[in-house]
Amino acid sequence: MKPKVVRECAELHSLVKSLHRQGLRIGLVPTMGALHAGHISLVKESLKNSDWTIVSIFVNPTQFAPGEDFEKYPRTLESDLALLEAENEKENIIVFTPSADEMYPKNFYSYVDVAGVAQPLEGAFRPTHFRGVATVVLKLFNMTRADVAFFGQKDFQQVQVIRQFVRDLNVPIEIRMSPIKREEDGLAMSSRNRYLSSEARQRALCLSDSLNRAKEMILSQNCRSRSAVEAEIRKILEHPKHSIDYAVIVDPETLLPRPGDEIVLPVAILLAVRVDDTRLIDNLVID
- pLDDT digit string (tens) for 201-231? 999 999 999 999 999 999 997 789 999 999 9
Whether 129 is catalytic is no
Query: How would residue 180 be classed by pLDDT, with cut points 50, 70 and 90?
Result: very high
How many CB atoms within 10 Å of residue 29?
Answer: 28
The confidence score (pLDDT) of residue 223 equals 86
Query: How would residue 197 be classed by pLDDT, with cut points 50, 70 and 90?
Result: very high
How many CB atoms within 10 Å of residue 199?
Answer: 10
The confidence score (pLDDT) of residue 194 equals 97
CATH number for region 191-286: 3.30.1300.10
The type of residue at 9 is: C
The confidence score (pLDDT) of residue 243 equals 98
Of 13, 20, 36, 39, which one is the catalytic site residue?
39
What's the whole-number mean pLDDT along residues 231-243?
Answer: 98
Does residue 96 contact residue 11 with C-beta atoms inside 8 Å? no
Domain parsing of the chain, residue ranges: 4-178, 191-286
| Whole-number Å distance between alpha carbons of 90 and 71 | 35
Superfamily name and number for 4-178 = HUPs (3.40.50.620)
